[in-house]
Structure 1
Amino acid sequence: MNPKITSLLANLNDQLSFINLETDNESTLCERAIEVILKSIDVLKKVVTKTKFKTESEEIFFFKEIKPQFTSKLIYYNTLYKIEMKKPNGGNRIVKKYYNNELIKLKAFFDNELEFYKYYRSGSIYLDHKYFLRSKFDIKMSLDSYYFEADISFSTSHDFKVAKILANDLIQLYLENQLVVIENKDNGEKSQRKPNLKMIWTSQKVALIELLYGLHTEGVFNNGAADLKDIAEYFEHIFEIDLGQYRRTFLEIRTRKADRVKFLTSLNKGLLKRMDDTDDGM
């Protein structure tokens, strides 16, 4: 892949991670995210229009694997913004019904695109030359009207559908998580089998905050869709600890003159040493 595109995608992911770290309000987060995504897509378009693909395989790879990574983010945040802006005021029952209706909309897209969904999810490639090459559309494939309005120098008949599939996965996860939150509020604290031992965080609080930010940045919870605030509250709950003004603590971590990720570095060194010691004992 073109190194400019690789750098552009990495930079976009970094910017979105930063926005998620620094923004609690859902609508503000979406607005900021959409702004940076649109700028990245504009740059991506300029790179692609100035660069000719060497082979058809290279072009297929870009429109099947690369461009949807940009476009899906735009679809996700734009849809999320609309969902939250249209969310009705009222009790949990009303909001729950609203979120369930949004899930029904996602299922409708899935049902309408079932054939292509199966093709894409199965990793098939036999129709890639029709789906992911520019100006190679087949009218018999029931194309959406948006394709004929799109810039054909930067679009194929199905790259947007791939992006839609990727975005819908995250939207579904978001909606399901919101329903779980409502359900837990209705039922009180979720009943579940509790472990015999209670775990208490006995290291420094700043170390837990460093770990919190590291895990959120890596996107290890809910396919990267989990909000920093939700993760922080979860940590506070399971460890029965008050993280206080953890955002301010993170700013202090960033201004460290020596090792800014002291705790994560220590974890890395400790685990590697444990592996080495285990290897030596074998």
Structure 2
Amino acid sequence: MDKFYKEMLQNLGTGIIELEIEEDCPTKRLEAIINTIVKSLSEVKERVLKRGFKNTDEEIRFFKYQKPVILLKLIYYNAIYKIETKKPYGAKPIRNYLNNELKKLKRYFDNNLEVYKYYRTNNSFIDDQLFFKEQIRYKAKSGHVLF
């Protein structure tokens, strides 16, 4: 899984860089990047469903470190896309709009501080409760998705 993941992540990074250089229109560039990331996530999902994991450590590593790297890119580019497509015209309205977007981001991090701290401190004491497919599916169904 590690070799496949590293190659896929490298290809994804190269693809994003190429799109950043080639496409002039910000919204079209962001749409193309988002589609590329979604395609990569689909490939990873297909690989995981097809091959599974060798052991619990590999599964935890995937859900804790590897998949979030890709999801982070998707969240980042989706946020920029949303900001770009909703951005008003004029210097003052843009400044107010961007300040409001920053406040939303701060609120999000404040609301998810415990998860953020867990990652930042590199803890592992509840990994077995958070990073298994079954746990993630359960949390998604119950509406309490942490990641």
Q: What is the TM-score normalised by the length of structure 1?
A: 0.48
1:95, distance to aligned residue in structure 2 (A): 0.7
Asked if residue 9 in structure 1 is aligned to residue 2 in structure 2, the reply is no
Deviation of 1:38 (Å): 1.2
In the alignment, does 2:93 pair up with 1:66? Answer: no
Structure 2 match to 1:34: 34
SS of the residue corresponding to residue 24 of structure 1 reads coil
Residue 114 of structure 2: aligned partner: 115
Identity of aligned residues (%): 41
Counterpart CA distance in 2 for 1:136 and 1:75 is 22
What does residue range 144-163 of structure 1 map to in structure 2 within 5 Å? 147-148=140-141, 157-158=145-146, 160=147
- Counterpart of 1:73, as a letter, is K
Gapped runs of 5+ residues in structure 1?
151-156, 161-282
Matched residues in 1 for 2:54 and 2:45: separation?
Answer: 17
User: In the alignment, is residue 130 of structure 1 matched against residue 129 of structure 2?
Assistant: yes
Structure 1 runs (4+) deviating above 3 angstroms are none
Corresponding position of 1:213: none
The amino acid of 1:56's aligned partner reads T
Match of 1:265 in 2: none
* CA distance in structure 2 between the partners assigned to 1:148 and 1:109 by the alignment: 21
* Between structures 1 and 2, the one with greater helix share: 2
Give the distance between the partners of 2:24 and 2:125, measured in 1 at CA. 44
Look up the equivalent residue of 1:94 and give its one-letter code.
Answer: P
Q: What secondary structure sits across from 2:88 in the alignment?
A: coil
Which structure 2 residue ranges, 5 or more long, are not aligned? Answer: none
Q: Look up the match of 2:50.
A: 50
Tell me the equivalent position of 1:261. Answer: none
Who is 2:95 aligned against? 96
Q: 1:26 to 1:149 in 2, by over 3 A?
A: farther
* Partner Cα distance (2:95, 2:115) in 1: 30
Q: Show the counterpart of 1:83.
A: 83
Partner-residue secondary structure (3-state), 2:135: coil
For the residue of structure 2 that corresponds to 1:136, the secondary structure is helix
Distance 2:66 2:112 in 1: 21
Deviation, 1:24, is: 2.7
Asked if 1:20 is matched to 2:20, the reply is yes
Describe the shift of the 1:53–1:32 C-alpha distance in structure 2 as closer, same or farther (beyond 3 A).
same
Task: Tell me how far apart the structure 2 counterparts of residues 149 and 88 of structure 1 sit (CA, whole Å).
Answer: 37
Deviation at 1:29, TM superposition (A): 1.1
Higher RCO, Cα 8 Å, sep 6+: 2
Provide the TM-score with structure 2 as the length reference.
0.90
Query: SS where residue 21 of structure 1 aligns?
Result: helix
